[in-house]
Protein backbone atom coordinates (compact mmCIF):
# COMPACT_ATOMS: atom_id res chain seq x y z
CA UNK A 1 0.00 0.00 0.00
CA UNK A 2 1.54 3.32 -1.11
CA UNK A 3 1.36 6.35 1.17
CA UNK A 4 -0.21 9.70 0.26
CA UNK A 5 3.31 11.20 0.15
CA UNK A 6 4.42 8.68 -2.47
CA UNK A 7 1.23 9.39 -4.46
CA UNK A 8 1.80 13.16 -4.34
CA UNK A 9 5.41 12.78 -5.40
CA UNK A 10 4.27 10.63 -8.31
CA UNK A 11 1.57 13.03 -9.56
CA UNK A 12 3.75 14.83 -12.12
CA UNK A 13 5.07 11.52 -13.45
CA UNK A 14 1.50 10.22 -13.69
CA UNK A 15 0.36 13.20 -15.76
CA UNK A 16 3.43 13.05 -18.01
CA UNK A 17 3.13 9.28 -18.50
CA UNK A 18 6.41 8.51 -16.78
CA UNK A 19 5.03 5.94 -14.31
CA UNK A 20 5.31 2.23 -15.04
CA UNK A 21 2.05 0.40 -15.69
CA UNK A 22 2.26 -1.26 -12.26
CA UNK A 23 2.82 2.07 -10.48
CA UNK A 24 0.06 3.69 -12.53
CA UNK A 25 -2.36 0.99 -11.39
CA UNK A 26 -1.38 1.46 -7.74
CA UNK A 27 -1.68 5.26 -8.19
CA UNK A 28 -5.18 5.03 -9.67
CA UNK A 29 -6.41 2.61 -6.99
CA UNK A 30 -5.17 4.98 -4.26
CA UNK A 31 -6.81 7.97 -5.89
CA UNK A 32 -10.18 6.23 -5.95
CA UNK A 33 -10.09 5.86 -2.19
CA UNK A 34 -8.32 9.13 -1.12
CA UNK A 35 -10.24 12.36 -1.65
CA UNK A 36 -7.34 14.59 -0.48
CA UNK A 37 -5.03 13.11 -3.12
CA UNK A 38 -7.84 13.32 -5.67
CA UNK A 39 -8.16 17.08 -5.05
CA UNK A 40 -4.42 17.62 -5.21
CA UNK A 41 -4.19 15.64 -8.44
CA UNK A 42 -7.03 17.72 -9.93
CA UNK A 43 -5.04 20.89 -9.10
CA UNK A 44 -2.00 19.57 -10.91
CA UNK A 45 -4.08 18.65 -13.93
CA UNK A 46 -5.53 22.16 -13.93
CA UNK A 47 -2.06 23.71 -13.79
CA UNK A 48 -1.07 21.69 -16.84
CA UNK A 49 -4.22 22.81 -18.66
CA UNK A 50 -3.63 26.47 -17.78
CA UNK A 51 0.02 26.40 -18.84
CA UNK A 52 -0.74 24.56 -22.08
CA UNK A 53 -3.34 27.19 -22.96
CA UNK A 54 -0.71 29.91 -22.66
CA UNK A 55 -0.31 31.06 -26.26
CA UNK A 56 2.75 32.42 -27.98
CA UNK A 57 2.90 35.27 -30.52
CA UNK A 58 4.27 33.88 -33.79
CA UNK A 59 6.45 36.13 -35.96
CA UNK A 60 5.39 36.66 -39.56
CA UNK A 61 7.30 35.75 -42.72
CA UNK A 62 8.66 39.30 -43.05
CA UNK A 63 10.40 38.95 -39.68
CA UNK A 64 12.15 35.74 -40.75
CA UNK A 65 13.16 37.22 -44.12
CA UNK A 66 14.64 40.29 -42.44
CA UNK A 67 16.41 38.08 -39.90
CA UNK A 68 18.03 35.95 -42.60
CA UNK A 69 19.12 39.07 -44.45
CA UNK A 70 20.74 40.51 -41.33
CA UNK A 71 22.62 37.27 -40.67
CA UNK A 72 23.91 37.21 -44.26
CA UNK A 73 25.01 40.85 -44.03
CA UNK A 74 27.34 39.81 -41.24
CA UNK A 75 29.02 37.33 -43.59
CA UNK A 76 32.67 36.61 -42.82
CA UNK A 77 35.21 34.81 -45.00
CA UNK A 78 35.53 31.09 -44.45
CA UNK A 79 38.96 31.17 -42.80
CA UNK A 80 37.53 33.43 -40.10
CA UNK A 81 34.77 30.91 -39.41
CA UNK A 82 37.33 28.44 -38.19
CA UNK A 83 38.77 29.97 -35.06
CA UNK A 84 42.20 28.33 -35.10
CA UNK A 85 42.83 29.12 -38.78
CA UNK A 86 41.63 32.68 -38.27
CA UNK A 87 43.92 33.21 -35.28
CA UNK A 88 46.90 31.41 -36.78
CA UNK A 89 46.89 33.00 -40.21
CA UNK A 90 48.25 36.50 -39.32
CA UNK A 91 51.20 34.90 -37.50
CA UNK A 92 51.72 31.94 -39.81
CA UNK A 93 52.21 33.89 -43.06
CA UNK A 94 55.25 35.99 -41.97
CA UNK A 95 56.77 33.04 -40.08
CA UNK A 96 56.41 30.86 -43.17
CA UNK A 97 57.97 33.55 -45.41
CA UNK A 98 61.00 33.93 -43.13
CA UNK A 99 61.29 30.14 -42.93
CA UNK A 100 61.34 29.76 -46.72
CA UNK A 101 64.06 32.43 -47.10
CA UNK A 102 66.19 30.82 -44.37
CA UNK A 103 65.73 27.38 -45.92
CA UNK A 104 66.89 28.59 -49.35
CA UNK A 105 69.85 30.47 -47.86
CA UNK A 106 71.04 27.63 -45.63
CA UNK A 107 70.62 24.77 -48.07
CA UNK A 108 72.05 26.27 -51.28
CA UNK A 109 75.41 24.81 -52.44
CA UNK A 110 78.56 26.97 -51.83
CA UNK A 111 79.43 29.09 -54.83
CA UNK A 112 82.62 28.04 -56.60
CA UNK A 113 84.58 29.31 -59.60
CA UNK A 114 84.90 26.80 -62.37
CA UNK A 115 88.20 27.27 -64.19
CA UNK A 116 87.89 26.50 -67.88
CA UNK A 117 91.06 28.33 -68.97
CA UNK A 118 94.18 26.10 -68.91
CA UNK A 119 96.54 27.06 -66.10
CA UNK A 120 99.44 26.98 -68.58
CA UNK A 121 97.97 29.95 -70.47
CA UNK A 122 97.27 31.88 -67.28
CA UNK A 123 100.86 31.45 -66.28
CA UNK A 124 101.96 33.48 -69.33
CA UNK A 125 100.81 36.58 -67.54
CA UNK A 126 101.80 36.77 -63.92
CA UNK A 127 99.13 39.31 -63.01
CA UNK A 128 96.35 37.24 -64.51
CA UNK A 129 97.77 34.13 -62.91
CA UNK A 130 97.96 35.82 -59.53
CA UNK A 131 94.43 37.22 -59.75
CA UNK A 132 92.92 33.97 -60.97
CA UNK A 133 94.79 31.80 -58.54
CA UNK A 134 93.90 34.12 -55.69
CA UNK A 135 90.26 33.69 -56.63
CA UNK A 136 90.67 29.99 -56.18
CA UNK A 137 90.66 28.37 -52.78
CA UNK A 138 94.43 27.71 -52.83
CA UNK A 139 95.98 31.09 -52.07
CA UNK A 140 99.42 29.60 -51.73
CA UNK A 141 99.42 28.36 -55.34
CA UNK A 142 101.03 31.48 -56.75
CA UNK A 143 103.80 31.24 -54.24
CA UNK A 144 104.34 27.59 -55.15
CA UNK A 145 104.66 28.40 -58.83
CA UNK A 146 107.08 31.23 -58.11
CA UNK A 147 109.30 28.79 -56.25
CA UNK A 148 109.15 26.37 -59.18
CA UNK A 149 110.02 29.11 -61.63
CA UNK A 150 113.02 30.28 -59.62
CA UNK A 151 114.34 26.72 -59.33
CA UNK A 152 114.43 26.20 -63.13
CA UNK A 153 117.59 26.96 -65.20
CA UNK A 154 115.57 28.57 -68.04
CA UNK A 155 112.81 31.12 -68.53
CA UNK A 156 109.57 29.27 -68.05
CA UNK A 157 107.50 31.57 -70.27
CA UNK A 158 109.81 31.10 -73.25
CA UNK A 159 109.97 27.37 -72.75
CA UNK A 160 106.19 27.07 -72.56
CA UNK A 161 105.76 29.06 -75.77
CA UNK A 162 107.94 26.66 -77.67
CA UNK A 163 105.98 23.62 -76.48
CA UNK A 164 102.94 22.08 -78.14
CA UNK A 165 99.75 22.15 -76.05
CA UNK A 166 100.17 18.46 -75.17
CA UNK A 167 103.76 19.02 -74.10
CA UNK A 168 102.74 22.00 -71.99
CA UNK A 169 100.12 20.02 -70.15
CA UNK A 170 102.49 17.12 -69.55
CA UNK A 171 105.20 19.51 -68.37
CA UNK A 172 102.95 21.29 -65.93
CA UNK A 173 101.63 17.99 -64.63
CA UNK A 174 105.08 16.65 -64.00
CA UNK A 175 106.24 19.89 -62.42
CA UNK A 176 103.34 20.12 -60.05
CA UNK A 177 103.66 16.48 -59.02
CA UNK A 178 107.41 16.67 -58.46
CA UNK A 179 107.15 19.91 -56.46
CA UNK A 180 104.14 18.83 -54.39
CA UNK A 181 101.83 21.60 -55.57
CA UNK A 182 98.27 20.55 -54.77
CA UNK A 183 96.29 21.40 -57.90
CA UNK B 1 23.77 18.37 -50.69
CA UNK B 2 22.49 14.82 -50.26
CA UNK B 3 19.24 15.48 -48.42
CA UNK B 4 17.49 17.22 -45.57
CA UNK B 5 19.26 15.31 -42.82
CA UNK B 6 20.90 17.65 -40.37
CA UNK B 7 24.32 16.06 -40.79
CA UNK B 8 24.14 16.50 -44.59
CA UNK B 9 23.03 20.10 -44.28
CA UNK B 10 25.74 20.85 -41.73
CA UNK B 11 28.37 19.21 -43.92
CA UNK B 12 27.22 21.18 -46.98
CA UNK B 13 27.17 24.45 -45.04
CA UNK B 14 30.68 23.83 -43.74
CA UNK B 15 31.79 23.54 -47.37
CA UNK B 16 30.31 26.97 -48.05
CA UNK B 17 26.83 26.09 -49.30
CA UNK B 18 24.72 28.88 -47.80
CA UNK B 19 21.50 27.29 -49.08
CA UNK B 20 22.15 24.50 -46.60
CA UNK B 21 22.18 27.13 -43.86
CA UNK B 22 18.85 28.45 -45.13
CA UNK B 23 17.38 24.95 -44.84
CA UNK B 24 18.65 24.63 -41.26
CA UNK B 25 17.28 28.10 -40.55
CA UNK B 26 13.83 27.18 -41.85
CA UNK B 27 13.86 23.92 -39.93
CA UNK B 28 14.92 25.32 -36.57
CA UNK B 29 13.75 28.92 -36.51
CA UNK B 30 10.41 28.17 -34.81
CA UNK B 31 11.72 25.72 -32.17
CA UNK B 32 14.50 28.16 -31.29
CA UNK B 33 12.14 31.12 -31.24
CA UNK B 34 9.79 29.10 -29.05
CA UNK B 35 12.54 28.33 -26.52
CA UNK B 36 13.54 31.99 -26.45
CA UNK B 37 10.00 33.31 -26.12
CA UNK B 38 8.96 30.77 -23.48
CA UNK B 39 12.04 31.54 -21.45
CA UNK B 40 12.06 35.34 -21.84
CA UNK B 41 8.26 35.84 -22.04
CA UNK B 42 8.68 38.87 -24.29
CA UNK B 43 8.30 38.94 -28.07
CA UNK B 44 10.83 41.68 -28.83
CA UNK B 45 13.45 40.14 -26.53
CA UNK B 46 12.88 36.72 -28.08
CA UNK B 47 13.32 38.13 -31.59
CA UNK B 48 16.57 39.83 -30.61
CA UNK B 49 17.92 36.65 -29.04
CA UNK B 50 16.88 34.52 -32.04
CA UNK B 51 18.96 36.80 -34.29
CA UNK B 52 21.89 36.40 -31.91
CA UNK B 53 21.48 32.61 -31.82
CA UNK B 54 21.37 32.17 -35.60
CA UNK B 55 24.28 34.57 -36.05
CA UNK B 56 26.31 32.41 -33.65
CA UNK B 57 25.27 29.25 -35.48
CA UNK B 58 26.19 30.83 -38.84
CA UNK B 59 29.61 31.98 -37.73
CA UNK B 60 30.54 29.06 -35.50
CA UNK B 61 29.43 26.08 -37.57
CA UNK B 62 33.13 25.35 -38.17
CA UNK B 63 33.56 24.73 -34.44
CA UNK B 64 30.74 22.19 -34.37
CA UNK B 65 32.58 18.85 -34.27
CA UNK B 66 29.39 16.79 -34.84
CA UNK B 67 29.97 14.68 -31.74
CA UNK B 68 26.43 15.55 -30.71
CA UNK B 69 23.32 16.11 -32.80
CA UNK B 70 23.02 19.47 -34.50
CA UNK B 71 19.82 20.36 -32.66
CA UNK B 72 21.49 19.65 -29.28
CA UNK B 73 24.30 22.02 -30.20
CA UNK B 74 21.93 24.66 -31.59
CA UNK B 75 19.61 24.47 -28.56
CA UNK B 76 22.53 24.71 -26.19
CA UNK B 77 23.52 27.94 -27.91
CA UNK B 78 19.91 29.08 -27.55
CA UNK B 79 19.76 28.20 -23.85
CA UNK B 80 23.07 29.92 -23.07
CA UNK B 81 22.16 33.00 -25.11
CA UNK B 82 18.77 33.28 -23.38
CA UNK B 83 20.35 33.00 -19.93
CA UNK B 84 23.06 35.54 -20.78
CA UNK B 85 20.47 37.92 -22.22
CA UNK B 86 18.28 37.64 -19.15
CA UNK B 87 21.23 38.34 -16.87
CA UNK B 88 22.29 41.35 -18.94
CA UNK B 89 18.82 42.83 -19.40
CA UNK B 90 16.29 43.37 -16.72
CA UNK B 91 13.19 42.03 -18.45
CA UNK B 92 10.23 44.27 -17.68
CA UNK B 93 6.69 42.99 -18.01
CA UNK B 94 4.23 45.81 -18.53
CA UNK B 95 0.95 45.45 -16.72
CA UNK B 96 -1.89 45.85 -19.26
CA UNK B 97 -4.08 48.93 -18.81
CA UNK B 98 -7.36 47.66 -17.23
CA UNK B 99 -9.36 50.20 -19.28
CA UNK B 100 -8.23 48.50 -22.50
CA UNK B 101 -9.20 45.05 -21.35
CA UNK B 102 -12.69 43.77 -22.02
CA UNK B 103 -14.31 41.63 -19.29
CA UNK B 104 -14.04 38.48 -21.38
CA UNK B 105 -10.44 39.23 -22.25
CA UNK B 106 -9.50 40.26 -18.74
CA UNK B 107 -9.08 36.83 -17.23
CA UNK B 108 -6.96 35.61 -20.10
CA UNK B 109 -4.59 38.57 -19.89
CA UNK B 110 -4.39 38.41 -16.11
CA UNK B 111 -3.74 34.69 -16.31
CA UNK B 112 -0.91 35.34 -18.76
CA UNK B 113 0.60 37.93 -16.43
CA UNK B 114 0.29 35.49 -13.52
CA UNK B 115 2.10 32.81 -15.54
CA UNK B 116 4.78 35.36 -16.52
CA UNK B 117 5.33 36.24 -12.88
CA UNK B 118 5.28 32.62 -11.76
CA UNK B 119 7.86 31.65 -14.38
CA UNK B 120 9.96 34.73 -13.61
CA UNK B 121 10.22 33.60 -9.99
CA UNK B 122 11.81 30.28 -11.00
CA UNK B 123 15.59 29.86 -10.94
CA UNK B 124 17.10 29.88 -14.46
CA UNK B 125 17.84 26.16 -14.61
CA UNK B 126 14.39 25.10 -13.37
CA UNK B 127 12.77 27.51 -15.75
CA UNK B 128 14.72 26.27 -18.76
CA UNK B 129 14.14 22.60 -17.89
CA UNK B 130 10.43 23.36 -17.60
CA UNK B 131 10.35 25.18 -20.96
CA UNK B 132 12.24 22.41 -22.78
CA UNK B 133 10.08 19.70 -21.26
CA UNK B 134 6.67 21.30 -21.09
CA UNK B 135 6.58 23.39 -24.26
CA UNK B 136 9.15 21.65 -26.45
CA UNK B 137 8.43 18.09 -25.33
CA UNK B 138 12.02 16.88 -25.03
CA UNK B 139 12.99 13.84 -23.02
CA UNK B 140 14.99 14.35 -19.85
CA UNK B 141 17.98 12.77 -21.57
CA UNK B 142 17.76 15.34 -24.40
CA UNK B 143 17.34 18.18 -21.92
CA UNK B 144 20.38 16.89 -20.04
CA UNK B 145 22.41 16.89 -23.27
CA UNK B 146 21.27 20.40 -24.20
CA UNK B 147 21.93 21.85 -20.75
CA UNK B 148 25.04 19.78 -20.00
CA UNK B 149 23.47 18.23 -16.89
CA UNK B 150 22.39 14.67 -16.07
CA UNK B 151 18.95 13.43 -17.07
CA UNK B 152 18.20 12.99 -13.35
CA UNK B 153 19.05 16.63 -12.68
CA UNK B 154 16.88 17.68 -15.63
CA UNK B 155 13.95 15.72 -14.22
CA UNK B 156 14.46 17.05 -10.68
CA UNK B 157 14.61 20.65 -11.98
CA UNK B 158 11.44 20.15 -14.01
CA UNK B 159 9.55 18.67 -11.04
CA UNK B 160 10.66 21.53 -8.75
CA UNK B 161 9.48 24.00 -11.37
CA UNK B 162 6.02 22.38 -11.66
CA UNK B 163 5.59 22.28 -7.88
CA UNK B 164 6.56 25.96 -7.57
CA UNK B 165 4.21 26.93 -10.41
CA UNK B 166 1.44 24.98 -8.71
CA UNK B 167 1.99 27.07 -5.56
CA UNK B 168 2.39 30.37 -7.40
CA UNK B 169 -0.76 29.85 -9.46
CA UNK B 170 -2.95 28.36 -6.73
CA UNK B 171 -5.22 31.43 -6.89
CA UNK B 172 -6.11 30.44 -10.44
CA UNK B 173 -6.99 26.82 -9.67
| Number of domains into which chain B is organized | 2
In a domain, A10, yes or no: yes
Q: Name the least confident of A63-77, A119-133, B7-21, B137-151.
A: A119-133
Which of B68, B92, B116 terminates a domain? The answer is B92
Containing structural domain, residue B140: 94-173
Q: Do A67 and B51 touch (CB under 8 A)?
A: yes
Domain-embedded: residue A57 = no
In chain A, which residues have their Cβ closer than 8 Å to the Cβ of B60?
81
Say if residue B82 is in the same domain as residue B123: no
Domain boundary among B92, B122, B142: B92
Whether residue B98 sits in one domain with residue B88:
no
Average pLDDT of chain B to the nearest whole number = 88
* B111:A82 CB<8 A: no
CATH code of the domain covering residue B16: 1.10.1740.10
Q: Does B29 touch chain A (CB under 8 A)?
A: yes
Judge whether A114 lies within some domain: no
User: Residue A91: helix, strand or coil by DSSP?
Assistant: helix
**What pLDDT sits at residue A107?**
75
Sign of dihedral through CA atoms A14, B30, B148, A47? negative
Cβ contacts (< 8 Å) between A81 and chain B: which residues?
A: 59-62
Same domain for B5 and B87, yes or no, is yes
Chain A touched by B159 (CB under 8 Å): yes
Round to whole Å and give the CA distance between B171 and B49.
32
Reported ipTM: the value is 0.80
Range of the domain at A16: 4-52
CB pairs under 8 A between A and B: 68
Q: Do A70 and A32 belong together in one domain?
A: no
pLDDT tens profile A17-60: 999 999 999 999 999 999 999 999 999 999 999 898 888 999 99
pLDDT above 70 (res B109): yes
* CB atoms near residue A178 (< 10 Å): 9
Exposed/middle/buried for residue A87 (C-beta within 10 Å: 0-12, 13-18, 19+): exposed
Q: How many CB atoms lie within 10 A of CB B158?
A: 23
Q: Please indicate, yes or no, whether residues B82 and B114 belong to a single structural domain of this protein.
A: no
Alpha carbon distance B156, B133 (integer Å): 12
- Do B70 and B130 sit in the same domain of this protein? no
Whether the Cβ atoms of residue B118 and residue B126 lie closer than 8 Å to each other = no
- Choose the final residue of a domain: B59, B92, B125: B92
If asked whether residues B37 and B80 sit together in one domain, one would say yes
Together in a domain, B98 and B87: no
Rounded to the nearest angstrom, the minimum Cα separation between A49 and chain B is 10
Domain count of the fold of chain A: 3
In the three-class reduction of DSSP (H, G, I as helix; E, B as strand; rest coil), residue B91 is classed as coil
Query: Same domain for B151 and B121?
Result: yes
pLDDT value of position A96: 84
Phi/psi for B168 (5° steps) reads: -65, -35
Q: Which carries the bigger pLDDT value, residue A147 or residue B132?
A: B132
Please report, for the domain that includes residue B132, its CATH number: 1.10.10.10
Separation between Cα atoms, residue B57 and residue B158, nearest integer Å: 27
Amino acid sequence: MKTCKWIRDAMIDRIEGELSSTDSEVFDIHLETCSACQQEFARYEKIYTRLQADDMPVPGASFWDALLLRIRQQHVPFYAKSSWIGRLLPVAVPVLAVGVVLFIFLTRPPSTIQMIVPVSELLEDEDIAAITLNAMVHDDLVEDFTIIEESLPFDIDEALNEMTSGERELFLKLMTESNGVGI
Amino acid sequence: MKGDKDEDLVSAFKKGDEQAFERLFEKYRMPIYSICYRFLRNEADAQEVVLDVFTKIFHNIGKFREKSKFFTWAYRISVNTCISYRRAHKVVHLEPDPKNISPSMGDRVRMKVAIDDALASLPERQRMCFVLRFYQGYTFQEIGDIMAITSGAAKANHHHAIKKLRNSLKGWL
